[in-house]
């Protein structure tokens, strides 16, 4: 059986992102969104989600490059001079391994973001992290431990099969996410051991920020059996605060509402929805 979750990351990052999420859900193939609970437009995102009860909303943990939920003064090892979560993921990962204080701050921030999501009143469909930073073994362990107390049932594991990419766009040479592959494999084992639902594959890694209508339709045309998550970064336009350089936000929105994408989902025979449609009660 084919099951499909089509997710928008960075829900709450900006009004442009929120508007595209709403449009792609109402008019297109988008079934889920991942909320940044402390981003500038988070309140608007929550309000929109409550008007769209069929949109499955999860927590997009922010542990790098964006706004923390706790005051920056409480996170001296994790934040920069501007009060944002640090950008230097490699050094930050090392600090987490070497400094107990950094690990304590990490746990406190993760718990604060779970609590902030709970306070929205939205059912938690899934959990993932900005820049997939939860594949770091120490971060992943903290997410698994803390998320259990907040009812987490599903977790993204970023693994993308190369044969699917080649089938979707013959002749293309997309760069697979080999740098995180070993950590993603470890996360899959730990998540399954914890009784969590994880996707069999996650599409959108190699073409992150470049999920054109043709690519989305191509991936859907080669959808295997099992649970597939296809994640995107839609917005009505780029140029907003926090936008990633080079991301084709409007093109990704267009890919989710394109007639060819709608037709591809129908032809695939996949059951579309959220992770909570597949997860067992905890």
pLDDT in tens, 192-251: 999 999 999 999 999 999 999 999 999 999 999 999 999 999 999 998 988 999 999 999
- Give DSSP secondary structure letters for 59-122: EEE--SSS--SS-GGG-TTTB-TTSSBPS-HHHHHHHHHH-HHHHHHHHHHHHHHHHHHHHHT-
CB distance 84 to 68 below 8 Å = yes
Q: How far is CA 212 from CA 208, 229, 255, in A?
A: 10, 16, 5
Residue 256: name the closest of 35, 22, 47, 15 by CA: 22
Element (H, E) at 56: strand 56-61
For the chain, the domain total comes to: 1
Q: Which of 118-122, 155-159, 179-183 has the lowest mean pLDDT?
A: 179-183
Find the mean pLDDT for residues 67-87.
97
β-partners of residue 127 are 59, 155
Gyration radius from the chain CA atoms: 18
Q: Could you give the angle at which helices 89-98 and 137-149 cross, rounded to 10 degrees? A: 70
For residue 281, name the pLDDT band (cuts at 50, 70, 90). low
Mean pLDDT within 56-72: 97
Structure-block tokens of residue 108: 């406190």
Decide which of 260 and 177 is more confident.
260
Q: Would you state the pLDDT for residue 21?
A: 98
Q: What is the Cα–Cα distance from 206 to 233, expressed in whole angstroms?
A: 13
Q: Identify the pLDDT of residue 247.
A: 95
**Domain residues for 50?**
2-277
Q: What is the structure's pLDDT at 179?
A: 67
Residue 282 reports pLDDT greater than 60: no
Residue 206 lies in a domain: yes
279 pLDDT band, cuts 50/70/90, is low
| Residue 44 in domain | yes
Closest CA to 216 of 270, 263, 163: 263
Q: Quick check: 46 pLDDT over 60? A: yes
Q: Which helix H or strand E contains 265, and what residues bound it?
A: helix 259-268
Q: Which residue has the tokens 């695939």?
A: 268
CATH code for the domain in which residue 191 is found: 3.20.20.370
Summarize the confidence of residues 73-89 as an average pLDDT. 96
At residue 27, φ and ψ (nearest 5 deg) are -110, -15
d(CA 241, CA 87): 15
User: Does residue 282 lie within any of the structural domains?
Assistant: no
Q: What is the mean pLDDT of the chain?
A: 95
H-helix or E-strand containing 3? strand 2-11
Predicted pLDDT at 140: 97
Which two tokens mark 9?
Answer: 């990351």
Residue 103 has pLDDT above 80, yes or no: yes
- Residue 178 is predicted with a pLDDT of 59
What pLDDT does residue 114 have? 98
Burial label for 59, CB within 10 Å (0-12, 13-18, 19+), is buried
Residues 79-101, mean pLDDT to the nearest whole number: 95
């Amino acid at each position: 059986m084919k099951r499909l979750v089509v997710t928008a990351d960075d829900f709450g990052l900006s009004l442009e992102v929120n508007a595209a999420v709403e449009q792609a859900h109402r008019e297109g193939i988008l079934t889920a969104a991942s909320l940044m609970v402390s981003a500038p437009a988070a309140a608007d995102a929550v309000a929109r989600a409550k008007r769209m009860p069929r949109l499955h909303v999860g927590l997009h943990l922010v542990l790098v490059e964006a706004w923390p939920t706790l005051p920056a003064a409480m996170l001296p090892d994790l934040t920069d001079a501007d009060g944002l979560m640090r950008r230097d993921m490699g050094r930050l990962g090392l600090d987490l391994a070497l400094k107990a204080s950094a690990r304590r701050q990490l746990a406190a921030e993760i718990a604060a973001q779970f609590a902030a999501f709970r306070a929205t009143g939205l059912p938690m469909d899934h959990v993932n992290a900005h820049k997939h930073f939860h594949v770091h073994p120490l971060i992943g362990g903290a997410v698994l431990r803390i998320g259990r107390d907040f009812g987490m049932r599903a977790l993204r594991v970023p693994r993308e099969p190369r044969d699917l990419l080649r089938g979707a766009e013959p002749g293309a040479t997309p760069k697979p996410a080999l740098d995180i592959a070993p950590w993603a494999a470890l996360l899959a084992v730990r998540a399954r051991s914890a009784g969590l639902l994880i996707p069999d594959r996650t599409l959108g890694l190699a073409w992150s920020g470049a999920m054109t209508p043709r690519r989305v339709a191509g991936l859907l045309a080669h959808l295997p059996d099992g649970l597939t998550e296809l994640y995107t970064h839609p917005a009505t336009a780029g140029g907003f605060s926090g936008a990633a350089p080079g991301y084709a936000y409007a093109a990704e929105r267009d890919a989710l509402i394109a007639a060819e994408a709608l037709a591809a989902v129908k032809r695939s025979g996949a059951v579309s929805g959220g992770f909570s449609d597949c997860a067992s009660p905890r």
